Amino acid sequence: MRRIAAVLITVLSLVAPALPAQVREPERTSTRREPFPPELLREIGDLYNAPGTMRVAGSLEIAPERTITGDVAITGGPTLTVGGRITGRVLAINTDVILRPGARVDGGILVVGGRLEGRETATVEGDVRVYRQSLSFHMEGDRLVPEQRVAEREPRFGRIFGLGARTASHLSFTVTPYNRVEGLPVHVGPTLAHRTGDADYRVEVLGIIRSVDSFKWTPENIGHRVTTEARVGRRRGIGVGGSLFDVVDPIEPWDLKDTEAGLSAFFLHRDYRDHFERHGGGVYLAGSSGDERELRFGYRDELWRSRDQRDPFSLTRDNQPWRPNPDVDEGRIRLLTASYRLDTRNDEDDPWTGWLLNGEVERGGGDLIPPGGAPADIRSVKYVRGFADVRRYNRLSPAAQLNMRLVIGGWLGGDDLPLQRRLSVGGPGSLPGFDFRRHPGGPDVATCEPGASNPALPALCERIVLAQIEYRGALRFGRLGFREGSQWWADHGLKSPQWVAFADAGRGWLVGARQGELQYPARTLLPPLDSFRTDVGVGLDARIIGFFVAKAVSHRKEPANFFVRVRHRF
């Protein structure tokens, strides 16, 4: 029964639609992956399919001395550059629009799945609308047929507790990734959302029950998360919120997506994360500019504890032991945080242009006991830690992309970092040419473990750096009878698969007096480049799932690794 329950709940968690906690009205510039208004889809189809519309597949540049009479519709880009004059309207589908100084558009501009640049130095007589999320469509002969995304279920607004007709409530049922400490953590509880004018209020009370030991009601198997939030403003807003929590969190959540981490643990008996317990509360203040930018300041008061690995069911290798979950520093800690997020991607799940930046600085202070220590070993700790994940997506042509990622993080000042704030690289999410947490036998620049004495092989690095680059191109099936390029897939409502070539380089190190290749002075910006781990690889990305092979370059005796990723590598 334990296995059947775990299988059913895990499968349901993967296919059940998410229940949004709040509903916002459409904006003039939108990046959310939410359904397009039906009237917008009709307008796109009518404009593109009109007899007098000039239709272009691919890039187009209109010189300053050129005038185009009538409407212009472009698909597939990557860019429409206007230096001259268009007497009608402009429709750009999955394409960026660049207006040169002095350019003129007598009608309006509608951009769906792209960005608009140069608006301030050009003349546009009509309405300007930009939706950066991409549009799905297919062709029926010469006609373009826009496709609607499957709408998410929205809470029904009604009159509840005298709060008025702009109040919604529902029972939330969510899960966090399957792992060797909790099994499947199931979050269940009520959510209340209220909207008035430009303000949104939300309260969520969730109890947590974990699937290990057949969902037995024990202190180790239950937890909670209570959150409250108030936001004022639509395009530019301010938010304030608070939370109370008793949760198990990953130590390093940055290298693999939650979905991938959970699937690998459930299906393959491979948990690529380590975990620890957090019990406490916090508050935050945030300012945002649309969906693109958010600056957040927070304060949390927490108790940190170690958690042992349990024996949750896995679909394969269930008789094998799990890797031990490493012990961490335990005690009370107070955290001040400042984080910044910038997201100019055209699409969250399938980006082909834009920036994504997540950065955070954390100042921690408290009294901690090291693993295996007694109360007499308690020490006062004060530290500063930073972390940044920067990604750039570039569309070189309708069929090619060049994407880059840089991750840097670690100690900035104060005492040594607590163990749950240490970092590492290696494995399918960062350096896939190297096995995850497989110790090489000597000093390990991936985890900063000086020897193989700890079977948990925890992350011990105080600083890391990782650089990734990949080139993507469309697969062409002309010899197999399909139409050349990606048009065959578009005609059938599909996105074409891509072949991917990539390279990665990274390492971690400790801070202090120079010791071999593991420890460098605090002023060291980067260790010697010849000490980095590097790999190269190729793969097939089928949009939903990808299959890849990576080979270590810096350690040529390492065998090639085959791995699978859900959606894109980054």
pLDDT digits (tens, 9 = 90+) for 405-453: 999 999 999 999 999 999 999 999 999 999 998 876 678 899 998 876 7
Q: What is the mean pLDDT of residues 243-258?
A: 95
pLDDT at residue 365 above 90?
A: yes
Give the tens place of pLDDT for each residue, 446-479.
999 887 678 888 999 999 999 999 999 987 655 4
Contacts of residues 37-42 at CB distance under 8 Å and 24 or more positions apart, as own/partner, are 38/148, 40/112, 40/131, 41/146, 41/148
As a whole number of angstroms, the distance between CA 349 and CA 94 comes to 14
Distances (CA, A) of 80 to 119, 158, 481: 13, 45, 31
Residues whose CB falls within 8 Å of the CB of residue 514, separated by 6 or more in sequence, listed in order = 520, 521
Q: Name the residue among 471, 469, 379 with its Cα closest to residue 419.
A: 379
User: Please, what sign has the CA dihedral across residues 538, 565, 495, 33?
Assistant: negative
As a whole number of angstroms, the distance between CA 70 and CA 82 comes to 14
pLDDT at residue 33 above 70?
A: no
pLDDT number for residue 36: 83
Band of the pLDDT at 20, cuts 50, 70, 90? Answer: very low
pLDDT number for residue 495: 64
Q: What is the mean pLDDT of residues 272-277?
A: 96
pLDDT at residue 32 above 50?
A: no
Helix (H, G, I), strand (E, B) or coil at 27: coil
Helices (H), 286-387: none
**Least reliable range by pLDDT among 106-120, 139-153, 483-497:** 483-497
Q: What is the mean pLDDT of residues 204-229?
A: 94
pLDDT number for residue 6: 47
**Least reliable range by pLDDT among 147-156, 188-197, 519-528:** 147-156
| pLDDT, the chain, mean | 86
Cα 505 to chain centroid, rounded: 21
Question: H helices then E strands: how many in the chain?
Answer: 5, 34
Percent of the chain surpassing pLDDT 70: 87
pLDDT number for residue 554: 93
In 125-221, DSSP assigns E strands to 128-131, 136-140, 143-147, 157-158, 167-175, 185-196, 199-210
**Least reliable range by pLDDT among 49-63, 153-167, 460-474:** 153-167
Helices (H), 475-536: 487-491
Burial of 551 (0-12, 13-18, 19+ CB in 10 A): middle
Give one word for 198, left, alpha or beta, with left for phi > 0 and alpha for psi -120 to 50: alpha
Task: Judge contact between 72 and 91, C-beta under 8 A.
Answer: yes
As a whole number of angstroms, the distance between CA 471 and CA 399 comes to 11
pLDDT number for residue 18: 35
* Strands 67-68, 85-86: pairing kind: parallel
Name the range with the highest mean pLDDT among 142-151, 208-217, 234-243, 330-339: 330-339
pLDDT number for residue 487: 54
CA neighbours within 13 Å on the CB side: how many for 198?
9
Band of the pLDDT at 567, cuts 50, 70, 90? Answer: confident
Locus of tokens 């019990």: 279
Q: What is the mean pLDDT of residues 83-95?
A: 94
pLDDT at residue 29 above 70?
A: no
Band of the pLDDT at 24, cuts 50, 70, 90? Answer: very low
Q: What is the mean pLDDT of residues 31-40?
A: 71
Q: What is the mean pLDDT of residues 89-109?
A: 93
Helix (H, G, I), strand (E, B) or coil at 14: helix
pLDDT at residue 393 above 50?
A: yes
Q: What is the mean pLDDT of residues 514-531?
A: 93
Q: What are phi and psi of 467, to 5 degrees?
A: -125, 135
Task: Judge contact between 465 and 424, C-beta under 8 A.
Answer: no
Amino acid in the structure at residue 100: R
Helix (H, G, I), strand (E, B) or coil at 420: helix
Residues whose CB falls within 8 Å of the CB of residue 380, separated by 6 or more in sequence, listed in order = 365, 366, 367
As a whole number of angstroms, the distance between CA 557 and CA 340 comes to 41
Percent of the chain surpassing pLDDT 90: 65
pLDDT at residue 140 above 90?
A: no
pLDDT number for residue 12: 41
Structure tokens at 277: 């317990």
- pTM of the predicted protein model: 0.80
More confident residue, 461 or 543: 461
* Strands 116-117, 96-99: pairing kind: parallel
pLDDT number for residue 482: 47
pLDDT number for residue 290: 78
Task: Judge contact between 413 and 432, C-beta under 8 A.
Answer: no
pLDDT number for residue 342: 95
Burial annotation 8-27 (CB, 10 A radius, 16+ → b, else e): ebbeebeeeeeebbbeeeee
pLDDT number for residue 477: 59
Distances (CA, A) of 1 to 34, 211, 215, 219, 360: 38, 12, 11, 22, 43
Residues whose CB falls within 8 Å of the CB of residue 51, separated by 6 or more in sequence, listed in order = none
Angle at 312 between CA 308 and CA 434, to 5 degrees: 75
pLDDT at residue 341 above 90?
A: yes
Q: Name the residue among 519, 478, 502 with its Cα closest to residue 404.
A: 502
**Least reliable range by pLDDT among 375-379, 401-405, 407-411, 546-550:** 375-379
Give the tens place of pLDDT for each residue, 470-504.
999 987 655 444 444 455 555 544 567 899 999 99
Burial of 173 (0-12, 13-18, 19+ CB in 10 A): middle
As a whole number of angstroms, the distance between CA 510 and CA 447 comes to 10
Cα 180 to chain centroid, rounded: 23
* Strands 400-414, 379-397: pairing kind: antiparallel
Q: Where are the domains of the chain?
A: 35-147, 155-325
Q: Name the residue among 149, 56, 124 with its Cα closest to residue 348.
A: 149
Task: Judge contact between 386 and 401, C-beta under 8 A.
Answer: no
**Least reliable range by pLDDT among 16-25, 75-84, 126-135, 161-170:** 16-25
Give the tens place of pLDDT for each residue, 281-296.
999 999 998 778 999 9
Burial of 451 (0-12, 13-18, 19+ CB in 10 A): exposed
Q: What is the mean pLDDT of residues 185-203?
A: 90
pLDDT number for residue 353: 86
Q: What is the mean pLDDT of residues 41-47?
A: 93
